[in-house]
Amino acid sequence: MEISIPPLFTTLRVNETEQVDSVIKELEAKLKILYSANGYSEAPVIFQHSQLKSTIVIPTLYQDIMHSYPPVIVDHGCGMAVLRGADVFVPGILCMPTGVQVGDKVSVCADIGGSCLRGMTRYEGQMLFVGNGVMLKSRNDIFKGNNITKGSGIRMECPIFLSLCLNDVLPSKIFAQNLPSIIVGHVLNPQEGDIVLDMCAAPGGKTSHIVSLLRGRGRLVAVDRSSSKVEKIKQNAAKL
């Protein structure tokens, strides 16, 4: 599966009760602070989508970075997450050299061959370099006595594609959502008095969008197959 190039942009859906121009200005200020705090000289230029007026587009920035440090191999899913702006979480770490300690700089590579085994010290299979970071856990913490199985394992300081996580940025005003998912609500175009059934509603992005488009003039029933998924819908609905 090809993971070497992430989406060229991130899309954010603006809460229908907010003024998009105002949210853009507020978001620009937040991004400047966020990118500066992460050591970057500039933030991407964000803009309103030309057709979907309640959608903000953030371009993904490319950085020319060298594979300079001891390699740490992560699984395919973790590699994709790093390309989208995430740090490396402990469960995604498969292979790292002996002697790597907390605070050491490492080069993170994704196992795209699918043959790297957890706990290996060296891997020569097919892999993809996704950036450089700093270890937050030692090899012993992850693979041996302590066997830590959750939390951040590597803080990504220099990912090759710069797309910072925005989970806690203006949570009541914007929602990170893929463009096709945003389009769904506009294609449905719910009208006054409509009753909408969302049978696979988690995590709640499309559900909350449809609710905002109804503007209190219709009804939406959202369901999913587990209580944890339903709880996630409730959490996102409460934000938006």
176 marked among binding-site residues: no
**Which tens digit of pLDDT belongs to each residue from 97-113?**
998 999 999 999 999 98
**Which tens digit of pLDDT belongs to each residue from 144-201?**
766 667 889 999 998 998 887 787 899 989 999 999 999 999 999 999 999 999 999 9
Model pLDDT, residue 224: 96
Task: Tell me: pLDDT of 17 over 90.
Answer: no
92 marked among binding-site residues: no
Model pLDDT, residue 146: 63
Task: Tell me: pLDDT of 240 over 80.
Answer: no
What CATH class does 71-162 carry? mainly beta
Q: Please state the pTM of the whole predicted model.
A: 0.78
DSSP run (H or E) holding 33: helix 20-37
85 marked among binding-site residues: no
**Which tens digit of pLDDT belongs to each residue from 46-77?**
999 999 999 999 998 888 889 989 999 999 99
144 marked among binding-site residues: no
204 marked among binding-site residues: yes
224 marked among binding-site residues: yes
